[in-house]
């Protein structure tokens, strides 16, 4: 429990906590004049009486771009508890999978702007509960749909580009998401802690499209997509992979960057095994010096994972394109003709050991 005057929290992941108090499984704020919470992912926290994600008592809080999922109380209680003359403002929130989403009581006020309340297995049993002394305003953007998290069973609550939360928010001052990636991307901010990097593409677009993606490490990818490369309107999405589980060849090492390039149309995946760009798109990657320590730059290539052959392959060889290398600016350019999982790799230089000469 926090008892303070001013609090600012950004990019916080809270999961599987159980409050020793009756409320506040994730965060409890008491006698707090002004708290700002943004880009918070709160999952599977618990408390005996409610406020399993956030409990306010005589506190004022502004909560922006927060994903609040699947909290539990041992007796009936809400994920968000606003009580004892508290004030809560939420903006661009995903609030799904609870017995009760929010409860306002004992002369409290809550205002919620742009909220995804869930549906199906992600629905709240009760979305909100307000006593006669309190008020709750839910605004005009209320979505009752499944959130479409990527892999929630293994703790991955990033959004698919087909999620109804994408581009469903209102403008805020928040400029990054929970991963540190830029926000907003697209027509409007996404709801929740995650912002999906994607680019809308149309074969009738006027000239080539430019899709710029900068990951949390500052590595930049720039894609130029000519209109003749696609035959239908698609969303092209990039997802950084912090860890790759596919085995790399001997002496090859990932040079700081691995990502999935995926495409969607009308809410459905386009199969990466068969989807081909009609003409290659140009991908330009700017890497960092620290990512290529021990790797000669001339060995850097963009590899893709061939799921049928179960091995990494050079995208330039597969697409019959060539590399352009600009070592002064740490830049590599290559044509890409299909979707896949990709990794920038190079061959580690052999370790040389020099022994002192001994004269007898």
- Distance CA(302)–CA(231), nearest Å, equals 25
pLDDT value, residue 13: 96
Q: Which two tokens stand for residue 40?
A: 């918070």
Complete DSSP assignment for 173-213: S--B-TTS-BS--SSSPPSSS----EEEE-TT-SS-EEEEE
pTM, two decimal places? 0.88
pLDDT value, residue 354: 59
pLDDT value, residue 21: 79
Q: Which two tokens stand for residue 210?
A: 């430019």
Low-confidence ranges of the chain (pLDDT < 50): none
pLDDT value, residue 14: 95
pLDDT value, residue 1: 53
**H or E segment and range at residue 228:** none
Scan for tokens 């004992």, then name that residue. Answer: 106
pLDDT value, residue 24: 85
pLDDT value, residue 289: 95
């Amino acid at each position: 429990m926090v008892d303070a005057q001013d609090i600012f929290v950004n990019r916080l992941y809270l999961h599987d906590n159980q409050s020793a108090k009756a409320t506040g499984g994730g965060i409890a704020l008491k006698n707090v004049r002004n708290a700002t919470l943004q880009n918070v992912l709160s999952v599977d926290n618990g408390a005996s009486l409610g406020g399993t994600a956030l409990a306010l008592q005589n506190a004022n809080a502004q909560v922006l771009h927060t994903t609040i999922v699947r909290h539990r109380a041992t007796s009936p209680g809400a994920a968000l508890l606003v009580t004892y003359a508290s004030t809560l403002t939420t903006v661009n929130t995903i609030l799904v999978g609870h017995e009760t989403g929010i409860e306002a009581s004992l002369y409290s006020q809550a205002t919620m702007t742009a909220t995804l309340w869930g549906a199906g297995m992600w629905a709240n049993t009760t979305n909100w509960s307000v006593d006669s002394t309190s008020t709750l305003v839910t605004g005009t953007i209320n979505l009752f749909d499944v959130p479409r998290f990527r892999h929630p069973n293994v703790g991955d609550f990033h959004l698919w580009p087909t999620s109804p939360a994408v581009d469903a928010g209102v403008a805020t001052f928040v400029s990054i998401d929970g991963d540190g990636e830029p926000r907003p991307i697209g027509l409007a901010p996404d709801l929740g802690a995650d912002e999906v990097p994607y680019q809308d593409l149309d074969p009738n677009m006027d000239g080539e499209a430019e899709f710029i993606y900068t990951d949390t490490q500052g590595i930049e990818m720039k894609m130029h997509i000519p209109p003749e490369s696609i035959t239908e309107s698609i969303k092209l999405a990039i997802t950084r992979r912090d860890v790759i589980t596919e085995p790399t060849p001997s002496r090859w090492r990932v040079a700081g960057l691995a990502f999935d390039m995926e495409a969607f149309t009308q809410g459905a995946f386009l199969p990466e095994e068969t989807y081909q760009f009609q003409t290659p798109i140009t991908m330009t990657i700017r890497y960092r010096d620290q990512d290529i320590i021990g790797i000669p730059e001339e060995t850097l290539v963009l590899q893709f994972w061939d799921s049928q052959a179960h091995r990494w392959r050079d995208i330039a060889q597969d697409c019959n394109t060539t590399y352009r290398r600009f070592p002064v600016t740490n830049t590599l350019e290559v044509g890409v003709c299909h979707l896949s999982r990709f990794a920038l790799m190079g061959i580690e230089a052999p370790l040389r050991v020099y022994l002192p000469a001994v004269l007898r």
